[in-house]
Structure 1
Amino acid sequence: MSDIATYDAIIVGGGPSGSTCAYNLVKAGLKTLLLDRANFPRVKLCAGWISPPIWDVLELLPEEYTRGLWKWNKVHINFRGKKYTIHSDGYFVRRYEFDDFLLKRSKAETVEGYNVRHLEKDNEGFWLIDNKYRAKYLIGAGGTHCPVARALFPEKDNVQCGTQEREFEGNAEEIASTRAGKDGEPEILLHDDMKGYSWNVPKGNWLNVGTGTKIARDVLPAWNKARAFFEGNGTPGTIPVSSRPMLDKMKGHGYIIFETSYLKYCYANNVFLIGDSLGLAQPMTGEGILPSVISGKLCAAAIAEGVPEKYKERLRTHPVIYDYRLLYGIQTRAKKFFDEKKDKHYRKSWLRDRIIVKVFAILFSGKPIPGSRIFAAFKK
């Protein structure tokens, strides 16, 4: 054992959930090690959209974030042939910068470029990694394919959602010409079947374009339609000809969005899952950074207070995760209803479409479901 480094906690994964957990553990005085297979800063496929509540969770003011930050107050949504501009709030970052910032801010001992291969418990009840590192607590924060989740928790058998996206730097004037509004204001193409959406987000000299669908196999045809839209809509927001070759080099990945049943697998035997390793992305919009940092902070608090078993209940009842539970229930019931009606002709309704777009804008800004807090209070 003398050759094995011992810690209070080891975190596998240095994204927002892992770095937030590490930050709070270090602040509490726990000896913490963070392992990640990548070397930071690293490219992370993500639009970089963060919700305003994140700053309170991170205990950080927006002006204290020293990398690129784009605040927006309007979202431009295209849905079933109409365009809606709705007042909403949010921020965009470049994940290349954001994740690196949070990791460095954590002050945790970090080993980058490290692949975790083997996990086991030693004869003292500590978790042992590759016979090199050991700790009482082990935290899986390695995303959808987290080695901790794969080795120690049941495999999730649901279908992953899929994305195709690209972020690239271009000429400032050309990037400006792609804007549907001001710099940083997102243009959204909400898919007619409401099973995904596509986006065009200008960020200064950078442009992030992509498509996300609830079922991974649907993403390529959805992206082809979105590309045609963003290249040929002939309005502000049209991607210029000179930038279009960049869209030939899209990259894809899949991840798991929230289901209520996942929460029961967030903790066992001093092992925790946080962020995308658990599957916490918002069930309707797929936004995963806010729930990731929430879970990281709650996990660290439970460990620091010596009550690791309370992580599960604290996560389940957190206002944001409570909202996700409600959304998941609504989504499940709505899917059943629309499946029953799928053979009937679609009847146009401007009011229904307007409500759908408005609700999407509310969720896109990270705001709670209207009335959910009242509902929760009565439930208590």
Structure 2
Amino acid sequence: MTERADALVVGGGPAGSSCAWRLRRAGLDVVVLDKARFPRDKACAGWITPPVLDVLKIDAAEYGDGRTLQPITGFRTSRLGPDGAGPEVETRFPEPVSYGIRRCEFDRYLLERSGARLDVGEALTRLERRGGQWLANDRLQAPVVIGAGGHFCPVARFLNGPPRAEPVVAAQEIEPRLNGAACAIGGDTPELFFCPDLRGYGWCFRKGDHLNVGFGRQDSHRLPAHARQFVDWLRAAGRIPRDIATRWPGHAYLLRGSSPRTPVGDGILLVGDAAGLAYPQSGEGIRPAVESGLMAAETLLALDGRYDRERLEPYAAWLATRFGRAVRSRPLHDRLPAAVLGAAAGWLLASPWFTRNFLIERAFLQTQQPPLDAPPSAP
């Protein structure tokens, strides 16, 4: 029997649930299809900035009642070298500039809050076009499909074809429970450790009784070895307990500015990591996921049910305005000699001014990014 809906969202993470939430608030019948059952484990550093709470109209006190919401009021940063980390720079703020969350809690909360019909535990295996409608898995019918399934989203693959040589960022994280073990990491001050070539960084971040440790690079060559070396150094330096679990799940994503993916098609929109929207400076993807989900919803609500590609193109233009256009140029760290880059990185990362004004505020917190507003023009 065919089930009909006004919109089908494939993927129940922050991008998909934010889109579904906005569409449901406008009265549309929305189905969210996801191969996972929630709550789910999700590899992620797991911090969000206040604009995420603001744009989703989430009360921090309400969310933090029974869930992890760790206020962040500072960062410690340093440069990794052959013998461990160099001198630390500590950057403090008078009030929380970010919050640590656990994705198993956050994703479930957003999905349940969306009000959409949930079809979980089933992957999208078939998608075909029939008379201006999409039919998914031979049973779900909708005039529009929102691909929100992350880097490996099946809708993105359907729209863009087989995977190409995409410049993927690879990361590995663990988030074990501390079980009362001593830990030198303060909950309000994540620690960031940058590679000498600036192609990646490691982090260590406490969230209540859990500790998130991860390592990511813009090249995946020898990533597991890099991650093991990083956690071995953290143990030896006394930053984390020696008996901490080290089963390293991982994930991949595309940085905005390097993603070749097309985000629109006839009756199709891609959001979040499916569209390759992670911030290029930090790799953070939750805010772009949430915002693009809301942008997709606003685009659809302005179209009165007519979703051909030409009418959806303003969404792609809005993404470019908000997050920057995709480019094919090589990043700076690929064009400078290693010795020059290493010397520059050492000098810059030791500068409190550079660390605060560029590395933390601009690259990680995106303080230059204004709040999400209405579309620049009606589609």
Q: TM exceeds 0.5?
A: yes
Deviations 1:99-132 (A, max 9, x none): 000000001001110111111111x210111210
Unpaired segments of 5 or more residues in structure 1? 371-380
Relative to structure 1, the CA distance from residue 192 to residue 10 in structure 2 (aligned partners, 3 Å threshold; closer, same or farther) is same
Instruction: For 1:216 and 1:300, locate their aligned partners in 2 and report how far apart those are by CA, in whole Å.
Output: 34
Q: Select 2:315's aligned residue among 311, 318, 322.
A: 311
Relative to structure 1, the CA distance from residue 107 to residue 83 in structure 2 (aligned partners, 3 Å threshold; closer, same or farther) is same
Aligned AA (2:295)? L
Instruction: For 2:334 and 2:230, locate their aligned partners in 1 and report how far apart those are by CA, in whole Å.
Output: 27
Relative to structure 1, the CA distance from residue 72 to residue 120 in structure 2 (aligned partners, 3 Å threshold; closer, same or farther) is same
Q: Is the 8 A contact 1:178 1:202 kept in 2?
A: no
Instruction: For 1:11 and 1:345, locate their aligned partners in 2 and report how far apart those are by CA, in whole Å.
Output: 43
Aligned AA (1:161)? V
- 1:213 lines up with 2:209 in the alignment: no
1:197: Cα distance to partner? 0.7
Deviations 1:176-210 (A, max 9, x none): x231x3x2421111112111111111111111111
* Aligned match of 2:146: 139
Q: Is the 8 A contact 1:140 1:273 kept in 2?
A: yes
- 1:294 lines up with 2:291 in the alignment: yes
Q: Select 1:352's aligned residue among 337, 345, 348.
A: 348
- 1:164 lines up with 2:172 in the alignment: yes
Relative to structure 1, the CA distance from residue 136 to residue 201 in structure 2 (aligned partners, 3 Å threshold; closer, same or farther) is same
Instruction: For 1:259 and 1:225, locate their aligned partners in 2 and report how far apart those are by CA, in whole Å.
Output: 30
User: Could you tell me the percent identity over the aligned residues?
Assistant: 33
Deviations 1:24-53 (A, max 9, x none): 010111111110000000000001111222
- Written as runs of structure 1 = structure 2, the 5 A alignment for 1:1-380 is 3-66=1-64, 67-80=67-80, 81-87=86-92, 89-122=97-130, 124-154=131-161, 155-172=163-180, 174-175=181-182, 177-179=183-185, 181=186, 183-234=187-238, 238-241=239-242, 243-244=243-244, 246-247=245-246, 249-259=247-257, 262=260, 265-306=262-303, 308-318=312-322, 321-322=323-324, 325=325, 332-338=330-336, 341-342=337-338, 347=343, 351-353=347-349, 354=351, 357-358=355-356, 359-362=358-361, 363-368=363-368
Aligned AA (2:240)? I
The 3-state SS of whatever aligns with 1:55 is helix
Aligned AA (1:143)? G
Please report the RMSD computed on the Cα atoms of aligned residues, expressed in angstroms: 2.4
Deviations 1:288-344 (A, max 9, x none): 0000001100000111111634211222212xx14xx59x79x94523541xx2366
* Aligned match of 1:375: none
Q: Is the 8 A contact 2:11 2:33 kept in 1?
A: yes
Instruction: For 1:280 and 1:191, locate their aligned partners in 2 and report how far apart those are by CA, in whole Å.
Output: 23
The 3-state SS of whatever aligns with 1:168 is coil
1:356: Cα distance to partner? 5.3
Instruction: For 1:104 and 1:369, locate their aligned partners in 2 and report how far apart those are by CA, in whole Å.
Output: 28
Q: Is the 8 A contact 2:167 2:258 kept in 1?
A: no
Relative to structure 1, the CA distance from residue 73 to residue 140 in structure 2 (aligned partners, 3 Å threshold; closer, same or farther) is same
Q: Is the 8 A contact 2:166 2:259 kept in 1?
A: no
Q: Is the 8 A contact 2:34 2:122 kept in 1?
A: yes
Instruction: For 1:138 and 1:35, locate their aligned partners in 2 and report how far apart those are by CA, in whole Å.
Output: 10
TM-score, normalization by structure 1: 0.85
Q: Is the 8 A contact 1:48 1:93 kept in 2?
A: yes
| More displaced stretch, 278-287 vs 213-222 | 213-222
Q: Is the 8 A contact 2:145 2:268 kept in 1?
A: yes
Relative to structure 1, the CA distance from residue 351 to residue 216 in structure 2 (aligned partners, 3 Å threshold; closer, same or farther) is closer
Instruction: For 1:346 and 1:300, locate their aligned partners in 2 and report how far apart those are by CA, in whole Å.
Output: 44
Relative to structure 1, the CA distance from residue 31 to residue 178 in structure 2 (aligned partners, 3 Å threshold; closer, same or farther) is same
Aligned AA (2:176)? F
The 3-state SS of whatever aligns with 2:6 is strand
The 3-state SS of whatever aligns with 1:26 is helix
Instruction: For 2:223 and 2:256, locate their aligned partners in 1 and report how far apart those are by CA, in whole Å.
Output: 19
